């Protein structure tokens, strides 16, 4: 399918009161390398378990229904559909058994993207927020292509924007429009964020609202740099309690992993806005890198203990490589 047929040529109403982007502008924003879409067509999000849903899909659920994937036999009972009798078994045993098949349902994929101040950081090889939004576009595209349901929530200290559940490939334009305009607005929003964002030190805050959590079991992906004092474990627990398979995608820029700093500097906390004078030398950088590694290990340990999946992403890594290797090797995608 050509990209023009896939996405159309019309523009849609914008978000945040801004002028909307055209379809071509959205694609260029989200997919600088549009050949990636062809690869995504061959991939799907792995559910991990059989799922239940309201609409027909391509997932095998825990209910028995009318798909073509065989599940089991059961004895014939008066009133059963005789078309499902396995006559080969009857011929061998003289007893009538019914063929049963797995029902096929859609997977609910919930994408949460951190849009707090620190997610705007990153200059040398790209900022974290644009990377997260493009990754969300890839995940959403794969899910919709597999007849799954997709919802997206952008959060800071609260849910600041959201896209209600979409279903099917026909909803791809709406998905791309929402994320493409969020991407185009990210730089200007950074300059006009509310002062309350400075108090956002607990990531669980936006998840405390009942409307923030998915209403049905599924797969929840949280894309964040995790630059918070607390709340990661509480967030995971809340999503698990809502019946989610939780994936924490931890994004850091190359500057945060391996900063090229030296001398007397004033460092400013991008979340709180506070500053501190620091003399940066070899020992300070060594201690800093050790702290980053320990932070990653802590998040990985929390996820492992709670049954969530931890994925680390360096935003200097091309998005294509993250999709092809990091997510596939973590067994989060089917290819």
Half-sphere exposure of 213 (CA within 13 A, CB side): 22
Residue 76 has a pLDDT of: 81
- Gap between the Cα atoms of 86 and 97, Å rounded: 6
Torsion sign across C-alpha atoms 218, 209, 211, 223: negative
Q: CA torsion, points 61, 65, 68, 72, in degrees to nearest 10?
A: 90
Supply φ then ψ for residue 109, to 5 degrees: -110, 120
Residue 263: exposure state from Cβ atoms within 10 A (0-12, 13-18, ≥19) = exposed
* Terminal alpha carbon distance of the chain: 19
How far apart are the C-alpha atoms of 47 and 34, rounded to whole Å? Answer: 26
Q: Which domains does the chain have, with CATH numbers?
A: 3-47+106-334 (3.40.50), 57-104 (no CATH)
Reduce the DSSP state of residue 24 to 3 states and report it: helix
Detail the DSSP E strand segments found in the chain: 44-45, 56-75, 97-105, 108-114, 149-155, 159-167, 218-224, 244-252, 263-268, 275-280, 309-314, 333-334
HSE-CB at 249 with a 13 A cutoff on CA atoms is: 27
pLDDT of residue 267: 60
Q: What is the mean pLDDT of each run of 10 residues along the chain (335 residues)?
A: 41 49 88 92 76 45 49 73 84 84 71 94 74 97 92 95 92 95 73 55 91 92 95 96 96 88 59 64 83 96 97 95 93 90
Q: What is the pLDDT of residue 14?
A: 45
CA angle centred on 44, ends 147 and 236, rounded to 5°: 95
Report pLDDT for 16: 46
pLDDT at 20: 75
Q: Give me the pLDDT at residue 52, please.
A: 46
Residue with tokens 């964040």: 224
């Amino acid at each position: 399918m050509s990209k023009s047929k896939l996405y159309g040529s019309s523009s849609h109403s914008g978000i945040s009161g801004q002028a909307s982007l055209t379809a071509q502008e959205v694609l260029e924003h989200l997919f600088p390398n549009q050949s990636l879409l062809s690869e995504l067509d061959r991939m799907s999000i792995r559910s991990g378990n059989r799922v239940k849903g309201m609409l027909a899909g391509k997932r095998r659920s825990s209910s028995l229904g009318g798909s073509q994937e065989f599940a089991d036999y059961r004895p014939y009972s008066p009133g059963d559909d005789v078309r499902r009798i396995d006559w080969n078994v009857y011929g061998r045993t003289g007893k009538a058994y019914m063929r049963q098949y797995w029902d096929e349902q859609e997977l609910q994929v919930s994408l949460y993207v951190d849009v707090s101040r620190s997610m705007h950081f990153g200059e040398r090889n790209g900022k974290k927020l644009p990377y997260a939004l493009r990754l969300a576009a890839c995940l959403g595209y794969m899910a919709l292509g597999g007849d799954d349901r997709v919802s997206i929530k952008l959060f800071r200290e609260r849910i600041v924007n959201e896209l209600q559940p979409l279903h099917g490939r026909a909803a791809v334009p709406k998905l791309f429009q929402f994320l493409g305009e969020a991407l185009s607005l990210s730089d200007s929003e950074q300059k006009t964020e509310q002062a309350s964002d400075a108090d956002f030190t607990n990531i669980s805050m936006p998840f405390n609202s009942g409307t923030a959590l998915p209403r049905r079991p599924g797969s929840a992906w949280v894309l964040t740099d995790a630059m918070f004092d607390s709340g990661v474990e509480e967030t995971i627990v809340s999503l698990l309690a809502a019946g989610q398979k939780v994936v924490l995608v931890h994004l850091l820029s190359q500057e945060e992993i391996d900063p090229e700093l030296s001398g007397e500097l004033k460092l400013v906390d991008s979340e709180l806005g506070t500053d501190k004078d620091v003399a940066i030398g070899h020992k300070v950088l060594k201690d800093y890198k050790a702290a980053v590694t320990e932070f990653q290990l802590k998040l990985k340990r929390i996820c492992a203990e709670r049954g969530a999946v931890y994925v680390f992403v360096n935003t200097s890594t091309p998005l294509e490589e993250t999709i092809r290797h990091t997510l596939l090797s973590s067994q989060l995608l089917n290819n």
